[in-house]
């Protein structure tokens, strides 16, 4: 069973976050341990200096007023050259802290040692042995505080790490969903586009195949053959228009709508389209930058839609309004069904589902061409009846 992409991304993100948290935790733990050890050594050096001065002036290591060592935590011992105890803090008066080799090493300079336990204290300890004249001073401190600190750090990471990982996984799940949402929407849109395109192409292809087969088998006269070929040519032309529209919409999805921009007079364009389709025209002479073939295609689709679905007289107008050039196609029919207006420019949407001739791409192509020119496409029902579909093109150059 294949896991959904969102789950897989979340698992990968969680694994990466777990490795990061483990690495950061180990690094932080090692740094804290090193800092604690360094602080402990500095503390031992300071105590050794204070006690050395005390010993050289004849003082005793045993606790006195203004204690230099803390019972149970820090301790000290003074040894002669043979390792015999000269002075010590309780309870170390009977047990020497250094072996013979360690004693010889301490005579040459300071010597740090770790002990799993110290007689009388039964706690791990850190020792520092330094020479003091002809004697050796050993000062030490239990490592219990260090162990407790590191234990607290470990607990914090063991508790906080999984909590942080869970929160990171949830955040990764949400982010993966947000990142994949446009992609998934695009995939769904592409699948729907392919399915709808296949459905639209299947009908004319089936008709074309049937017409050619009938002409081949049953055409009894040249006239019947010519009629069959004319019908096949009409189906072929419809297929060609449908393919062109699909290619234009597919290019728009990829941000590629090729335009051959030039200066053109929208009045001339409107008159040409109106004359070709036999509709009325009212147009102001306005010069804009645009692709004449694409704009003519958009106007022709608008007029064809008005004649096919609107009814009544069709009027094409061009006028300047609010800094834009608006090209309207108005009809005298009953207008768009109210529920169709919000999806009038969606691909393969038809106001009359029973219309087998329309592909549902006409107004979608209109909107695509308008956007390619930096404009907008709109549709509305007129207050007095009929539909109004228009393009609003900016008065600026189109790149």
353 has a pLDDT exceeding 60: no
Task: For 135-178, write each residue's pLDDT tens digit.
Answer: 899 888 888 888 888 888 888 888 888 888 888 888 888 888 88
Q: Across the chain, what does the average pLDDT equal?
A: 80
Sign of the CA dihedral 208, 213, 216, 221? Answer: negative
Predicted model pTM = 0.50
pLDDT value of position 189: 66
Cα 82 vs. chain centroid, distance in angstroms? 73
**CATH, range 5-148:** 3.30.450
What's the CATH fold of domain 262-394?
Answer: Heat Shock Protein 90 (3.30.565)
- Provide the pLDDT confidence category of residue 220 given band limits of 50, 70 and 90: low
CB 295 within 8 A of CB 357: no
Residue 233, token pair as written in the block: 């040519």
Distance in angstroms (rounded) separating the CA atoms of residues 358 and 242:
10
- Provide the pLDDT confidence category of residue 68 given band limits of 50, 70 and 90: very low
Instruction: Residue 65: count other Cβ atoms within 10 Å of its Cβ.
Output: 4
- Beta strand 315-321 pairing with 280-283: parallel
Q: Using CB atoms within 10 A of its CB, is residue 191 exposed (0-12), middle (13-18) or buried (19+)?
A: exposed
pLDDT value of position 201: 62
18-22, 93-97, 237-241, 288-292 — which is least confidently predicted? 237-241
Q: How far is CA 162 from CA 7, 136, 198, 345, in A?
A: 19, 50, 51, 50
72-81, 209-218, 250-259 — which is least confidently predicted? 250-259
Measured N-to-C along each axis, helices 222-253 and 362-372 cross at an angle, to the nearest 10 degrees, of 40
Helix residue ranges per DSSP H, the chain:
5-56, 100-108, 144-218, 222-253, 266-277, 292-305, 362-372
Q: Which residues contact 314 (CB under 8 A, 6 or more apart)?
A: 277, 279, 280, 303, 306, 307, 329, 330, 331, 332
pLDDT value of position 245: 62
Sign of the CA dihedral 319, 322, 328, 332? Answer: negative
pLDDT value of position 71: 46
pLDDT value of position 164: 86
Tell me the sheet residues that pair with 114: 126
Express as a percent the part of the chain with pLDDT over 70. Answer: 79
Task: Please give the residue that has the higher pLDDT: either 49 or 96.
Answer: 49
Distance in angstroms (rounded) separating the CA atoms of residues 279 and 281:
7
Express as a percent the part of the chain with pLDDT over 90. Answer: 12
Nearest C-alpha neighbor of 77 from the set 67, 87, 91, 62: 87
Find the length of the chain. Answer: 399
Task: For 310-344, write each residue's pLDDT tens digit.
Answer: 878 899 999 988 888 999 999 988 888 878 888 88
* Domain positions in the chain: 5-148, 262-394
Tell me the sheet residues that pair with 390: 328, 378
């Amino acid at each position: 069973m294949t896991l959904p992409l969102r789950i897989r991304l979340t698992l990968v993100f969680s694994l990466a976050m777990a490795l990061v948290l483990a690495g950061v935790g180990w690094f932080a733990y090692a740094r804290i341990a090193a800092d604690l050890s360094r602080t402990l050594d500095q503390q031992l050096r300071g105590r050794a200096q204070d006690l050395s001065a005390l010993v050289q002036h004849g003082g005793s290591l045993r606790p006195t007023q203004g204690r230099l060592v803390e019972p149970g935590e820090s301790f000290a011992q003074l040894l002669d050259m043979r390792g015999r105890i000269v002075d010590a803090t309780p309870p170390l008066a009977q047990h020497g802290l250094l072996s013979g080799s360690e004693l010889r090493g301490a005579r040459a300079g300071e010597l740090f040692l770790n002990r799993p336990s110290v007689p009388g204290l039964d706690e791990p300890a850190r020792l520092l042995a330094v020479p003091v004249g002809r004697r050796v001073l050993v000062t030490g401190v239990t490592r219990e505080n260090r162990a407790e600190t590191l234990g607290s750090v470990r607990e914090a990471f063991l508790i906080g790490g999984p909590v942080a990982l869970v929160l990171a996984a949830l955040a990764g799940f949400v982010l993966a969903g947000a990142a994949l949402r446009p992609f998934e929407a695009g995939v769904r849109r592409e699948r729907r586009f392919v399915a709808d395109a296949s459905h639209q192409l299947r009908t004319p292809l089936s008709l074309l195949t049937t017409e050619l087969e009938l002409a081949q088998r049953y055409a009894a006269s040249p006239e019947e053959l010519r009629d069959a070929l004319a019908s096949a040519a009409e189906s072929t032309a419809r297929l060609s228009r449908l393919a062109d529209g699909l290619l234009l919409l597919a290019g728009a999805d990829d941000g590629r709508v090729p335009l051959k921009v030039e200066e053109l007079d929208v009045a001339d364009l409107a008159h040409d389209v109106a004359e070709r389709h036999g509709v009325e025209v009212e147009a102001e002479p306005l010069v804009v930058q645009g692709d004449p073939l694409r704009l003519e295609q958009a106007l022709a689709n608008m007029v064809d839609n008005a004649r096919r679905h609107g009814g009544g007289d069709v009027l094409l107008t061009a006028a300047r309004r609010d800094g834009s050039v608006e090209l309207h196609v108005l009809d005298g029919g009953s207008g768009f069904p109210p529920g169709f207006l919000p999806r009038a420019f969606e691909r393969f949407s038809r106001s009359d589902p029973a219309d087998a001739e329309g592909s549902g791409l006409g107004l979608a192509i209109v909107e695509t061409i308008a956007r390619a020119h930096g404009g907008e496409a709109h549709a509305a029902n007129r207050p007095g009846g009929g539909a109004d579909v228009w393009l609003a093109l900016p008065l600026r150059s189109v790149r």
